[in-house]
């Protein structure tokens, strides 16, 4: 979940990107930034560290994201200047959500125990389109082995939990009530 500050920065970046007609380019940047930060515990630790100087963090981020747009580099500059660089991942995530929302794209978050196959992804996509009535849907698959099997589907504030872990939990609660 992104902080209110991250959402405010994301809105400002989205406005700036739309004014420059590069909203989609920055969307790609932000997806990349978010994935990079989520995929690297070391980078998250560097961004949170009070010991590492802001300028060093900025230099590292500019090197990592050197092929990104000037808007994205400007965001890194502003977050560093405001001593809020640790918000970068949240800003990127919020930007992606806001961009999709503005474009009318519904994002279905599917959590499975194993990665979705192309066939299964198409079935889920069809079901989400049926549920939401929207033809503009994308799927984000998250793998979480702790759900054992089945899936958890979340679109906006709707959630459907068909995981084995959830069913086992329900059985356990039923047994403890009966005892």
Domains, the chain, in order of start with CATH, read 4-101 (1.10.520.20), 105-178 (no CATH)
Rounded Cα–Cα distance for residues 84 and 79 (Å): 5
pLDDT of residue 152: 85
Instruction: Please state, in angstroms and as integers, the Cα–Cα distance from residue 176 to each residue in 108, 164, 169, 172, following that order.
Output: 34, 18, 11, 6
pLDDT of residue 84: 94
Mean pLDDT to the nearest integer, 155-168: 81
Average pLDDT along the chain: 88
pLDDT of residue 1: 53
Q: Which SS3 state, helix, strand or coil, does residue 135 take?
A: coil
Q: Residue 34 in contact with residue 88, Cβ under 8 Å?
A: no
Total-model pTM: 0.71
The arrangement of strands across the sheet holding 137-143 comes to 137-143, 106-112, 150-155, 158-163
Mean pLDDT to the nearest integer, 154-168: 81
* Tokens coding 31: 């997806």
Indicate the pLDDT class of residue 154, thresholds 50, 70 and 90: confident
Bridge partners of residue 138, in order along the sequence? 107
pLDDT of residue 157: 75
Rounded Cα–Cα distance for residues 165 and 58 (Å): 42
Q: Residue 112 in contact with residue 151, Cβ under 8 Å?
A: yes
Residue 142 clears pLDDT 90, i.e. is over it:
no
What lies within 8 Å, CB to CB, of 55 at 6+ separation is 80
């Amino acid at each position: 979940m992104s902080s209110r500050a991250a959402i405010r920065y994301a809105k400002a970046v989205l406005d700036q990107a739309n004014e420059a007609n590069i909203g989609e380019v920055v969307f790609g940047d932000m997806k990349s930034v978010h994935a990079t930060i989520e995929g690297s515990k070391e980078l998250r630790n560097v961004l949170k560290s009070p010991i590492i100087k802001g300028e060093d963090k900025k230099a590292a981020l500019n090197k990592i994201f050197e092929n990104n747009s000037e808007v994205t580099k400007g965001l890194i500059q502003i977050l560093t200047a405001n001593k809020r660089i640790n918000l970068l991942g949240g800003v990127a995530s919020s930007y992606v959500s806001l961009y999709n929302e503005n474009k009318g794209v519904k994002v279905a978050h599917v959590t499975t125990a194993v990665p979705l196959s192309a066939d299964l992804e198409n079935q889920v996509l069809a079901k989400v389109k049926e549920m939401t009535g929207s033809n503009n849907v994308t799927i984000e698959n998250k793998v979480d082995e702790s759900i054992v099997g089945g899936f958890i589907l979340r679109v906006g504030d709707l959630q459907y939990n068909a995981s084995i872990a959830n069913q086992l939990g329900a059985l356990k609660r039923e047994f403890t009530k009966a005892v």
